[in-house]
Structures are given as C-alpha cells and as structure tokens.
Amino acid sequence: MTALTVNGRPVAFDLDPATPLLWALRDAANLTGTKYGCGVGDCHACTVIVDGEALRSCLVTLAEAEGRFVTTIEGLSRDRSHPVQQAMVAEQAIQCGFCTPGIVMAAAALLAKNAAPGEAEIAAALPNLCRCGVYPRLVRAVERAARVAARRETIGAAPAPGISAEDAAKAVPAMDPGA
Ligand code: FES
Ligand code: FES
C-alpha cells in the first residue's frame, strides 16, 4: 500500500510502487481530469500539483508520491471558481480542452508562488504543449487570473453546461447570434 493525500483525502493505493502517479490517479482513483498525452514527460498534459509544485504525474512514481499532498484538476475548486479556471474561460484559452487541465494546474502553482508573473515567467512555467495553439490567449488568461486572484478584477461566472443558446449568448457576447 502506498499512502498519500489526494485532493484533501487520504488514499492508499494497492499498486506496484513503481506505477506512475498518472495511472494511479486515472485508473485507480478514477480522476480522469488529469490527461495522458505522451507518457514520457514531453507534453505536460499530466501536470498535477504535488506539495505546491507542478509536476508531470507520468514521471512521478507512487513510491515517490508517498506521504505527499497531491492536487488534481478535480480538487482545485468545487465549482470551477479558481481564478485560473475563470480566466481561461473568459479569455477563450480553451479549444479542444485536452491540454487544459495540465495548463490550469501549472498556472495555479505559478500564481501561488508569484502573484504577478510577467510573460516570460508565464512561458517558463507553462511549457505545456497545445496542439490547438492557444498560447497567446494562455498568457492573457494567466495575467488576468493574477488580477482576479489579487481582487483587482472580477469575472462573471461561466455559463453552466447545458445552458440555452440564448442565455449563453448573453454571457458570451461573441456568441450572440444577433451580433
Ligand atoms: S503525459 Fe506526462 S508529460 Fe506527457
Ligand atoms: S486546447 Fe486543444 S490541445 Fe490545447
């Protein structure tokens, strides 16, 4: 058994200690928000926060995670209200969304250490690959998230899934069919 804390809950994994944390989270804990992209450390899609550090969970073994505090995208906020989540939606920095959980976790870890990162610092902290190419929006989103976290700006709640097209258009002007 390998004991660690995942999203605030103590968890004991009955798996080979050499198992990558990514597989323990996805396949054993059913936390599938953390994505498998390359499995070899290149894409950062699998990024989670371990004791405050953004780490690629495909490169961390269960044995290395023992006794540590792991946060996945599911544990970042209960209602998608984390400033990075709000800003990613508001800046439309999400296309297919596959890379998004890893990016959000890396950005959240960055802002926890650096309340006002510059563009170069954001680029350095987010080497995540995005096949949809959201990079310019990503920088804007993280800068905006920093302002939201500092309470210098607020972002209205994103429409919930299943919202009607009319209501979505009210919340997202670019989607207004009458515009
Ligand atoms: S799946 Fe971990 S870096 Fe690509
Ligand atoms: S939004 Fe599609 S891979 Fe980044």
Q: What is the pLDDT of residues 97-111, one digit of tens each?
A: 999 999 999 999 999
Residue from 89, 105, 131 to probe ligand 2 pocket by mutation (most atoms less than 8 Å from CB): 131
Check pLDDT > 50 for residue 158. yes
The reported pLDDT for the residue numbered 156 is: 74
Residue 116 per-residue DSSP state? S
Report if pTM > 0.85.
yes
Q: 98 Cβ partners below 8 Å, 6+ apart? A: 35, 37, 45, 131
- Residue 179: CB atoms within 10 Å: 7
State the Cα–Cα distance between residues 53 and 29, nearest whole angstrom. 21
What is the distance in A from the centroid of ligand 2 to the CA of 128?
A: 10
Check pLDDT > 60 for residue 172. no
3-class secondary structure, 65: helix
Residue 89's closest CA among 144, 147, 128, 37? 144
CB 69 within 8 A of CB 5: yes
Check pLDDT > 80 for residue 163. no
Q: For the stretch 109-143, what's the b/e string if a residue is b when 16 or more beta carbons lie within 10 angstroms of its beta carbon? A: bbbeeeeebeeeebeebbebbbeeebeebbbbbbb
Domain architecture of the chain: domains with CATH: 2-76 (3.10.20.30), 83-155 (1.10.150.120)
Check pLDDT > 90 for residue 132. yes
| Average pLDDT score, the chain | 91
Pocket around ligand 2 at a 6 A CB cut-off: 94-99, 130-132, 134
Segment 59-92, tens digit of pLDDT: 999 999 999 999 999 999 877 889 999 999 999 9
Segment 3-46, tens digit of pLDDT: 999 999 999 999 999 999 999 999 999 999 999 999 999 999 99
